[in-house]
Amino acid sequence: MVAEALQEAVRQLQPVAERPRLEVEILLAHHLGCERSRLLLRDREPLEKAEEFFAMIERRCAHEPIEYITGTVSFYGEEFFIAPGALIPRPETEILVEEAAVLIREQRGIERIAEIGVGSGAISVTLAKLFPRLQIVATDIRPEALAVARENLRRFGVEGRITLKETSLLEGVDPSRVEMIVSNPPYVAQGCVLEPNVARYEPHMALFAPGDGTELLRRIVDLAARLGVPTVCEMGYDQRKPMEAYFREKGIENYRFYRDLAGLDRGFIVDFG
Ligand SMILES: C[S@@+](CC[C@H](N)C(=O)[O-])C[C@H]1O[C@@H](n2cnc3c(N)ncnc32)[C@H](O)[C@@H]1O
Protein backbone atom coordinates (compact mmCIF):
# COMPACT_ATOMS: atom_id res chain seq x y z
CA MET A 1 0.00 0.00 0.00
CA VAL A 2 1.04 3.59 -0.62
CA ALA A 3 0.99 4.46 3.10
CA GLU A 4 3.26 1.54 4.01
CA ALA A 5 5.70 2.27 1.20
CA LEU A 6 5.86 5.87 2.39
CA GLN A 7 6.65 4.81 5.94
CA GLU A 8 9.31 2.32 4.87
CA ALA A 9 10.95 4.87 2.53
CA VAL A 10 11.05 7.49 5.32
CA ARG A 11 12.77 4.93 7.54
CA GLN A 12 15.38 4.23 4.86
CA LEU A 13 16.01 7.91 4.12
CA GLN A 14 16.25 9.02 7.77
CA PRO A 15 20.06 8.75 8.05
CA VAL A 16 20.66 10.70 4.82
CA ALA A 17 18.07 13.42 4.45
CA GLU A 18 17.35 16.40 6.68
CA ARG A 19 13.65 16.22 5.88
CA PRO A 20 13.07 12.57 4.94
CA ARG A 21 9.27 12.71 4.97
CA LEU A 22 9.15 15.70 2.64
CA GLU A 23 11.64 14.11 0.25
CA VAL A 24 9.81 10.79 0.22
CA GLU A 25 6.54 12.59 -0.49
CA ILE A 26 8.17 14.44 -3.40
CA LEU A 27 9.54 11.18 -4.83
CA LEU A 28 6.29 9.32 -4.26
CA ALA A 29 4.24 12.06 -5.91
CA HIS A 30 6.70 12.00 -8.83
CA HIS A 31 6.39 8.20 -9.03
CA LEU A 32 2.59 8.31 -8.97
CA GLY A 33 2.42 11.31 -11.28
CA CYS A 34 0.23 13.30 -8.89
CA GLU A 35 0.45 16.42 -6.70
CA ARG A 36 2.01 15.92 -3.26
CA SER A 37 -1.22 17.23 -1.71
CA ARG A 38 -3.13 14.28 -3.28
CA LEU A 39 -1.00 11.58 -1.61
CA LEU A 40 -3.19 11.28 1.44
CA LEU A 41 -6.18 10.41 -0.73
CA ARG A 42 -4.21 7.50 -2.24
CA ASP A 43 -3.04 6.11 1.12
CA ARG A 44 -4.82 2.79 0.76
CA GLU A 45 -4.06 2.12 -2.90
CA PRO A 46 -1.61 -0.64 -3.75
CA LEU A 47 1.71 0.88 -4.87
CA GLU A 48 2.26 0.06 -8.53
CA LYS A 49 5.85 -0.57 -9.67
CA ALA A 50 7.10 -0.50 -6.08
CA GLU A 51 10.60 -1.64 -7.15
CA GLU A 52 10.96 1.49 -9.31
CA PHE A 53 9.94 3.70 -6.41
CA PHE A 54 12.41 2.01 -4.03
CA ALA A 55 15.13 2.28 -6.69
CA MET A 56 14.67 6.06 -6.46
CA ILE A 57 14.92 5.88 -2.67
CA GLU A 58 18.12 3.88 -3.04
CA ARG A 59 19.58 6.57 -5.32
CA ARG A 60 18.68 9.22 -2.76
CA CYS A 61 20.21 7.08 0.04
CA ALA A 62 23.45 7.21 -1.99
CA HIS A 63 23.21 11.04 -1.70
CA GLU A 64 22.08 11.70 -5.28
CA PRO A 65 20.27 15.07 -5.30
CA ILE A 66 16.52 14.69 -5.45
CA GLU A 67 16.38 17.07 -8.43
CA TYR A 68 18.46 14.70 -10.59
CA ILE A 69 16.18 11.82 -9.59
CA THR A 70 12.96 13.61 -10.49
CA GLY A 71 14.51 15.55 -13.40
CA THR A 72 12.95 18.79 -12.19
CA VAL A 73 14.04 21.82 -10.19
CA SER A 74 12.09 24.88 -9.06
CA PHE A 75 13.59 28.22 -9.96
CA TYR A 76 11.88 31.59 -9.81
CA GLY A 77 8.50 29.92 -9.44
CA GLU A 78 8.87 27.65 -12.46
CA GLU A 79 9.72 23.98 -12.88
CA PHE A 80 12.85 23.53 -14.98
CA PHE A 81 14.19 20.33 -16.49
CA ILE A 82 17.46 19.24 -14.89
CA ALA A 83 19.88 16.37 -15.54
CA PRO A 84 23.32 15.45 -14.18
CA GLY A 85 25.13 17.29 -17.01
CA ALA A 86 24.14 20.66 -15.50
CA LEU A 87 24.49 22.25 -12.09
CA ILE A 88 21.24 22.34 -10.11
CA PRO A 89 20.26 26.03 -9.99
CA ARG A 90 20.31 27.35 -6.41
CA PRO A 91 17.73 29.61 -4.75
CA GLU A 92 20.35 32.34 -4.16
CA THR A 93 20.79 32.66 -7.91
CA GLU A 94 17.26 34.07 -8.05
CA ILE A 95 18.79 37.19 -6.45
CA LEU A 96 21.19 37.49 -9.38
CA VAL A 97 18.15 37.43 -11.68
CA GLU A 98 16.53 40.20 -9.58
CA GLU A 99 19.69 42.32 -9.71
CA ALA A 100 20.00 41.81 -13.47
CA ALA A 101 16.33 42.73 -13.89
CA VAL A 102 16.85 45.99 -11.97
CA LEU A 103 19.82 46.87 -14.22
CA ILE A 104 17.87 46.10 -17.38
CA ARG A 105 14.97 48.29 -16.18
CA GLU A 106 17.27 51.13 -15.05
CA GLN A 107 19.33 51.15 -18.20
CA ARG A 108 16.44 51.51 -20.56
CA GLY A 109 17.24 50.28 -24.00
CA ILE A 110 19.17 47.16 -22.99
CA GLU A 111 17.87 44.49 -25.31
CA ARG A 112 20.91 42.29 -25.94
CA ILE A 113 22.66 40.52 -23.13
CA ALA A 114 25.09 37.63 -22.71
CA GLU A 115 25.18 34.94 -20.08
CA ILE A 116 28.49 33.21 -19.37
CA GLY A 117 28.09 29.64 -18.07
CA VAL A 118 24.43 29.04 -18.89
CA GLY A 119 24.22 25.57 -17.27
CA SER A 120 20.56 24.52 -17.12
CA GLY A 121 19.49 27.84 -18.66
CA ALA A 122 17.54 28.92 -15.54
CA ILE A 123 18.93 32.49 -15.52
CA SER A 124 18.61 33.19 -19.24
CA VAL A 125 15.17 31.61 -19.56
CA THR A 126 13.87 33.55 -16.54
CA LEU A 127 15.21 36.86 -17.89
CA ALA A 128 13.81 36.11 -21.33
CA LYS A 129 10.40 35.49 -19.75
CA LEU A 130 10.60 38.70 -17.70
CA PHE A 131 11.68 40.84 -20.68
CA PRO A 132 9.90 39.80 -23.87
CA ARG A 133 12.14 41.96 -26.11
CA LEU A 134 15.40 40.60 -24.70
CA GLN A 135 17.80 38.72 -27.00
CA ILE A 136 20.35 36.58 -25.20
CA VAL A 137 23.50 34.80 -26.23
CA ALA A 138 24.36 32.18 -23.62
CA THR A 139 27.64 30.27 -23.54
CA ASP A 140 28.99 27.21 -21.81
CA ILE A 141 32.07 25.06 -22.30
CA ARG A 142 30.19 21.84 -21.56
CA PRO A 143 27.96 20.30 -24.25
CA GLU A 144 26.13 18.29 -21.54
CA ALA A 145 25.02 21.54 -19.88
CA LEU A 146 24.03 23.07 -23.21
CA ALA A 147 21.83 20.03 -23.91
CA VAL A 148 19.94 20.65 -20.65
CA ALA A 149 19.64 24.36 -21.45
CA ARG A 150 18.36 23.54 -24.95
CA GLU A 151 15.57 21.43 -23.46
CA ASN A 152 14.56 24.27 -21.12
CA LEU A 153 14.58 26.79 -23.97
CA ARG A 154 12.21 24.48 -25.82
CA ARG A 155 9.94 23.90 -22.80
CA PHE A 156 9.59 27.62 -22.14
CA GLY A 157 9.29 28.55 -25.81
CA VAL A 158 12.23 30.98 -25.84
CA GLU A 159 14.46 29.22 -28.43
CA GLY A 160 13.97 32.14 -30.81
CA ARG A 161 15.43 34.65 -28.33
CA ILE A 162 18.29 32.73 -26.71
CA THR A 163 21.24 31.58 -28.77
CA LEU A 164 23.32 28.86 -27.13
CA LYS A 165 27.00 28.72 -27.94
CA GLU A 166 29.65 26.21 -26.91
CA THR A 167 32.60 28.42 -26.13
CA SER A 168 34.69 29.76 -23.27
CA LEU A 169 33.53 33.09 -21.80
CA LEU A 170 32.38 35.08 -24.85
CA GLU A 171 34.94 33.86 -27.37
CA GLY A 172 33.53 34.17 -30.88
CA VAL A 173 30.51 36.18 -29.73
CA ASP A 174 29.84 39.36 -31.70
CA PRO A 175 30.45 42.21 -29.17
CA SER A 176 27.58 44.20 -30.70
CA ARG A 177 25.25 41.55 -29.22
CA VAL A 178 26.47 42.26 -25.70
CA GLU A 179 25.03 45.28 -23.89
CA MET A 180 25.27 43.57 -20.50
CA ILE A 181 26.76 40.38 -19.01
CA VAL A 182 25.25 38.10 -16.39
CA SER A 183 27.09 35.16 -14.94
CA ASN A 184 27.09 32.63 -12.16
CA PRO A 185 30.48 31.14 -12.98
CA PRO A 186 32.32 28.39 -11.11
CA TYR A 187 33.76 30.09 -8.03
CA VAL A 188 34.42 27.39 -5.43
CA ALA A 189 38.10 27.40 -4.42
CA GLN A 190 40.03 24.34 -5.59
CA GLY A 191 40.26 21.76 -2.81
CA CYS A 192 37.20 22.99 -0.92
CA VAL A 193 35.32 20.03 0.58
CA LEU A 194 31.66 19.96 -0.45
CA GLU A 195 28.64 17.97 0.75
CA PRO A 196 28.52 14.44 -0.74
CA ASN A 197 25.38 15.18 -2.77
CA VAL A 198 27.23 18.04 -4.47
CA ALA A 199 30.75 16.57 -4.65
CA ARG A 200 29.68 13.16 -5.97
CA TYR A 201 26.99 14.17 -8.42
CA GLU A 202 27.29 17.74 -9.68
CA PRO A 203 29.74 18.59 -12.48
CA HIS A 204 33.02 19.77 -10.99
CA MET A 205 33.69 22.10 -13.91
CA ALA A 206 30.52 23.96 -12.93
CA LEU A 207 31.71 24.40 -9.36
CA PHE A 208 35.46 24.78 -9.02
CA ALA A 209 37.73 27.54 -10.26
CA PRO A 210 41.51 27.60 -9.77
CA GLY A 211 43.21 29.05 -6.70
CA ASP A 212 40.92 30.98 -4.38
CA GLY A 213 38.06 30.53 -6.83
CA THR A 214 38.01 34.09 -8.19
CA GLU A 215 39.91 33.46 -11.43
CA LEU A 216 36.86 33.29 -13.68
CA LEU A 217 35.22 36.20 -11.86
CA ARG A 218 38.32 38.31 -12.61
CA ARG A 219 38.34 37.27 -16.27
CA ILE A 220 34.67 38.22 -16.55
CA VAL A 221 35.40 41.64 -14.99
CA ASP A 222 38.25 42.14 -17.51
CA LEU A 223 35.91 41.23 -20.34
CA ALA A 224 33.20 43.56 -19.06
CA ALA A 225 35.74 46.40 -18.81
CA ARG A 226 36.94 45.75 -22.35
CA LEU A 227 33.38 45.76 -23.69
CA GLY A 228 32.38 48.63 -21.37
CA VAL A 229 29.16 46.89 -20.32
CA PRO A 230 27.42 46.53 -16.95
CA THR A 231 27.84 43.09 -15.44
CA VAL A 232 26.17 41.08 -12.68
CA CYS A 233 28.08 38.14 -11.21
CA GLU A 234 27.40 35.69 -8.44
CA MET A 235 30.36 34.86 -6.18
CA GLY A 236 31.23 33.03 -2.96
CA TYR A 237 30.36 34.55 0.44
CA ASP A 238 34.09 34.95 1.21
CA GLN A 239 35.18 36.52 -2.08
CA ARG A 240 34.30 40.16 -1.42
CA LYS A 241 37.79 41.09 -0.22
CA PRO A 242 39.73 39.60 -3.15
CA MET A 243 37.25 41.08 -5.63
CA GLU A 244 37.42 44.50 -3.96
CA ALA A 245 41.21 44.33 -4.17
CA TYR A 246 40.93 43.44 -7.86
CA PHE A 247 38.59 46.36 -8.58
CA ARG A 248 41.07 48.70 -6.85
CA GLU A 249 44.01 47.23 -8.76
CA LYS A 250 42.17 47.80 -12.06
CA GLY A 251 41.00 51.30 -11.09
CA ILE A 252 37.35 50.24 -11.26
CA GLU A 253 35.22 52.47 -9.03
CA ASN A 254 31.65 51.86 -10.04
CA TYR A 255 30.80 48.58 -8.33
CA ARG A 256 28.67 47.31 -5.50
CA PHE A 257 28.14 43.97 -3.77
CA TYR A 258 24.80 42.35 -3.05
CA ARG A 259 23.86 39.88 -0.33
CA ASP A 260 21.77 36.73 -0.20
CA LEU A 261 18.83 36.11 2.15
CA ALA A 262 21.20 34.84 4.85
CA GLY A 263 22.94 38.24 4.76
CA LEU A 264 26.09 36.85 3.15
CA ASP A 265 27.94 38.59 0.33
CA ARG A 266 26.81 36.73 -2.76
CA GLY A 267 27.62 38.78 -5.84
CA PHE A 268 28.57 42.09 -7.42
CA ILE A 269 27.52 44.52 -10.07
CA VAL A 270 30.13 46.50 -11.99
CA ASP A 271 29.23 49.29 -14.36
CA PHE A 272 31.42 50.99 -16.89
CA GLY A 273 28.83 53.44 -18.26
C1 LIG B 1 27.90 27.53 -11.36
S2 LIG B 1 27.39 26.86 -12.93
C3 LIG B 1 26.02 27.96 -13.27
C4 LIG B 1 24.97 27.35 -14.13
C5 LIG B 1 23.71 28.21 -14.27
N6 LIG B 1 23.99 29.49 -14.91
C7 LIG B 1 23.07 28.45 -12.90
O8 LIG B 1 23.20 29.56 -12.37
O9 LIG B 1 22.47 27.52 -12.35
C10 LIG B 1 28.69 27.47 -13.96
C11 LIG B 1 28.59 27.08 -15.45
O12 LIG B 1 29.70 27.70 -16.12
C13 LIG B 1 30.23 26.79 -17.07
N14 LIG B 1 31.61 27.22 -17.35
C15 LIG B 1 32.75 26.92 -16.68
N16 LIG B 1 33.79 27.54 -17.23
C17 LIG B 1 33.31 28.26 -18.28
C18 LIG B 1 33.91 29.12 -19.26
N19 LIG B 1 35.22 29.37 -19.26
N20 LIG B 1 33.11 29.69 -20.18
C21 LIG B 1 31.77 29.45 -20.19
N22 LIG B 1 31.15 28.65 -19.30
C23 LIG B 1 31.92 28.07 -18.36
C24 LIG B 1 30.07 25.43 -16.42
O25 LIG B 1 30.10 24.39 -17.37
C26 LIG B 1 28.71 25.59 -15.72
O27 LIG B 1 27.66 25.17 -16.56
Residue 89 CB–ligand 1 contact under 6 Å: yes
Residue 85 CB–ligand 1 contact under 6 Å: no
CATH code at 86-270: 3.40.50.150
Distance CA 50, CA 196 (A): 27
Fold of 2-62: Helicase, Ruva Protein; domain 3 (1.10.8)
pTM for the model stands at 0.95
Using one digit for the tens of pLDDT, what is the confidence trace for 208-218? 998 899 999 99
Cβ neighbours of residue 244 closer than 8 Å, sequence gap 6 or more: none
- Look at 166 and 198; give whichever has higher pLDDT: 166
Distance between Cα 121 and ligand 1 center (Å):
10
Over residues 87-114, the mean pLDDT reads 95
The structural domains of the chain, with segments of one domain joined by +, span: 2-62, 86-270
Quick check: 120 pLDDT over 80?
yes
Q: Residue whose CA is closest, atom 13 of ligand 1?
A: 117
Which atom of ligand 1 has the smallest separation from the CA of 216? 19
Cβ contact 80:120 at 8 Å: yes
Which atom of ligand 1 has the smallest separation from the CA of 118? 6
Question: 188 falls in which pLDDT band (50, 70, 90)?
Answer: very high
Question: 69 falls in which pLDDT band (50, 70, 90)?
Answer: very high
Cβ contact 234:258 at 8 Å: no
As a 3-state breakdown, the chain gives helix, strand, coil percent values, each rounded to 5, of 45, 15, 40
Distance CA 208, CA 185 (A): 9
Over residues 76-102, the mean pLDDT reads 97
Quick check: 171 pLDDT over 80?
yes
Instruction: Tell which one of 97, 141, 162, 207 to mutate to probe ligand 1, the residue whose CB is within 8 A of the most ligand atoms.
Output: 141
